[in-house]
Structure 1
Amino acid sequence: MLNVFFTVDVEIWCGGWKNLDARFPQAFQQYVYGRTPRGEYGLRYQLKELRDHGLYGVFFIEPLFATRFGIEPLAEIIGLVQEYGQEVQLHMHPEWVDEAREPLLKNSEHKRQFMRQFSLEEQTILIAKGVELIEQANGGRVNAFRAGSFGFNRDTLHALEANHIPFDSSYNASMMGLESGVLPGQVLHDPVLCDGVVEYPMTIFDDGTGKHRHAQIGACSNLELEGLMQQALKNQRQSFVILSHNFELMNAQRNNGDLIMIKRFRRFCEFMAKHKTDFQMRGFQQLSSDTLSSHSTVLTSPLWKTVHRTVEQVLRRRY
């Protein structure tokens, strides 16, 4: 059986860094609920589909926006995730650090996009603040973390260990993973222990063009994801980590649902529900210290599936 981690990064963006207080109420509704003329296709829609199909997901929730707008919106997000029986974990976009009402760090006047741009001491402070905010919003104690935009480094792992967080899922070999300093010279495909933290890397694959791509609902077709999971099962991989976002079923303007994405997500849920004897959807809470395996070869997907996905992505522009 293959452990499948369906992970959703939950974030709110205001379309820029000016007039944040005026923009936030509408941005919150767009990103959290995704209300459109056709219905609601945001976070609650995803949660309902997972629950209705008997599936489990991990929701990495970004809490630093609460240092600007208060704990109530964060508590509303966490309450939604818990209402539908899904897992709350910690996500962090440090772009919010310089927007906090009260300084989080000594030097927080300028914007830094990635965790790796902060010192070990600063990262330790920020992660502690994230843990505190999640707990204040009734999210309980988290035990897993993902850095925003996968922009972490070895210091991040040390900061996690200092905060007693045993799991990380920030490594993405197709996006800055090789620059992270985690096991230099190796490409991670399966969980590995590094600096006291178990790293669960994003699943990547060769899409038939020689290019590495990570497994993401919004960037891979159903044909690709289904084939890759079956290949990982056959190859006795330990885990398969999939990425999504709370706004991923919306169009680029966040004012309408993306019908292709909605259909893709529903088919993914149907596939996972149908194949529960092969694929076990897991979270990090109560995750046992399984024997870590190691695979050095990347998963592959044939070129014709890449072409099929490319056509789908072009058609998505209609929405």
Structure 2
Amino acid sequence: MQVHLTYDVEIWADGWTDMAARLPAAFRRLTYGPPPHERGALPVNLQILRDNGLRAVFFVEPLFSYYYGLDALQEMVGLIMEAGQDVQMHIHPEWLDELPNEIVPRRKKTPMLHRFSLDEQAAMLDAAAGRLVEAGAPRPTAFRSGNYSANADTLRALARIGVKVDSSMNACFDFPYPDKGSARSLHPSHIEGIAEYPVTLFRDGFGRVRPMQITACSLAELVQGLTRARDQGLPAATLVSHNFELLSADRRSEDRIVTRRFAGLCEWLGRNAAQFPTASFDPSVVPAAPPDWELPQVSPLATAQRYVAQAARRLVH
């Protein structure tokens, strides 16, 4: 089973007021980690991946750079590409009304991409793709929408600008996808001519549906979820993280509990690379899953470990 380790890479200043003063420190903290040690952000993730010989996909949000400057985006893209990892495209439309240039007609702050028309989405995606190229990345071939917000027009807009893979689907969220049957099938498929790789879900030890996200699962849940999904015939799994996911909730210190969890997952994937190879998305091949594929369920003990870790994190941070 192929494993797609994916990151949403984005910069925020904890609100939209006084951004000119606060954004430089936010950029540094979310890219490198909080001072004084600057650990827990992109370099730590990249080093763990490197140490275990793993391939990951970094969906980078470029719209912020129209406000903050191309140099910042070049710095982020450079870190990722120098580590031999894959840069692809991410968008948070919340940035649009902050920008000096008008990519689409101005409106009040709109965080959901599916609220925009087909032409507006195409213009936004084309501008974002071009900005990544300006920053030194190859023209993107894969995309994930911020907030997992997408609809049929998103997929049509991606096709219009030549992007062939989407990974915006997360069935824990209910946005207006073009084909609800495909949207709920929970495995890779073709929709509107685009290769759709949804975020992989599982049932925890109590039967609740959860995404495979580094901060949302215990290590045992991730390992069991991947193993059982493979055994049930899932051909490819997509996991989610962020550039700041190894930081505490307030982004002020490294979260060593989550860092150890991620390192443990990467070590496991490295040891089992023959069965669980990590890879970028190949738009020419969408592996088929069995028609009766169901979400894997992990053990109650694996889920209990998540609760213990969450309690420990609250005590530490």
Q: TM-score when scaled to structure 1?
A: 0.95
Q: Which residue of 2 aligns with 1:111?
A: 109
> Does the aligned pair in 2 maintain the 1:174–1:213 contact within 8 Å?
yes
> Does the aligned pair in 2 maintain the 1:188–1:201 contact within 8 Å?
no
Give the aligned residue type for 2:251. Answer: R
Q: Does 1:231 pair with 2:235?
A: no
Q: Which SS does the other structure have where 1:97 is aligned?
A: helix
Q: Which SS does the other structure have where 1:175 is aligned?
A: coil
Distance 1:291 1:185, change over 3 A: closer
> Does the aligned pair in 2 maintain the 1:37–1:256 contact within 8 Å?
no
Which structure 2 residues correspond to residues 248-287 of structure 1 after superposition, within 5 A? 248-284=245-281, 286-287=282-283
Which structure 2 residues correspond to residues 32-47 of structure 1 after superposition, within 5 A? 32-37=31-36, 39-47=38-46
Deviation at 1:265? 1.0
Q: Which residue of 1 aligns with 2:146?
A: 148
Q: TM-score when scaled to structure 2?
A: 0.95
Between 264-273 and 185-194, the greater mean CA deviation after superposition: 185-194
Give the aligned residue type for 1:23. Answer: R
Q: Does 1:184 pair with 2:180?
A: yes
**Aligned partners of 1:38, 1:313: CA distance in 2, in Å?**
24
Q: Does 1:8 pair with 2:4?
A: no
Q: Which residue of 2 aligns with 1:51?
A: 50
Q: Which SS does the other structure have where 2:77 is aligned?
A: helix
> Does the aligned pair in 1 maintain the 2:142–2:164 contact within 8 Å?
yes
Deviation at 1:105? 1.0
Q: Pick from 90, 115, 136: which aligns with 1:138? A: 136
Deviation at 1:103? 1.2
Distance 1:29 1:55, change over 3 A: same
RMSD: 1.4
Give the aligned residue type for 2:158. Answer: L
> Does the aligned pair in 2 maintain the 1:6–1:241 contact within 8 Å?
yes
Q: Which residue of 2 aligns with 1:163?
A: 161
> Does the aligned pair in 1 maintain the 2:150–2:177 contact within 8 Å?
no
**Aligned partners of 1:290, 1:114: CA distance in 2, in Å?**
27
Deviation at 1:70? 1.4
The total of aligned residue pairs comes to 314
Q: Does 1:293 pair with 2:289?
A: yes
> Does the aligned pair in 1 maintain the 2:188–2:286 contact within 8 Å?
no
Which structure 2 residues correspond to residues 192-207 of structure 1 after superposition, within 5 A? 192-207=189-204
Q: Which residue of 2 aligns with 1:84?
A: 83
Q: Which residue of 2 aligns with 1:25?
A: 24
**Aligned partners of 2:181, 2:276: CA distance in 1, in Å?**
30
- The answer for unaligned runs of 5 or more in structure 1 is none
**Aligned partners of 1:183, 1:150: CA distance in 2, in Å?**
16
Deviation at 1:290? 4.2
- The answer for unaligned runs of 5 or more in structure 2 is none
Give the aligned residue type for 2:136. Answer: N
Deviation at 1:53? 1.2
Deviation at 1:236? 2.0
Q: Which residue of 2 aligns with 1:70?
A: 69
> Does the aligned pair in 1 maintain the 2:93–2:112 contact within 8 Å?
yes
Per-residue deviation, residues 164-201 of structure 1 (Å, max 9, x unmatched) = 1010000001122xx33242245122111111101000
Q: Which SS does the other structure have where 1:131 is aligned?
A: helix
> Does the aligned pair in 2 maintain the 1:191–1:294 contact within 8 Å?
no
> Does the aligned pair in 2 maintain the 1:190–1:294 contact within 8 Å?
no
Q: Which SS does the other structure have where 2:162 is aligned?
A: coil
Deviation at 1:37? 4.7
Deviation at 1:104? 1.3
**Aligned partners of 1:60, 1:294: CA distance in 2, in Å?**
28
Q: Which residue of 1 aligns with 2:305?
A: 308
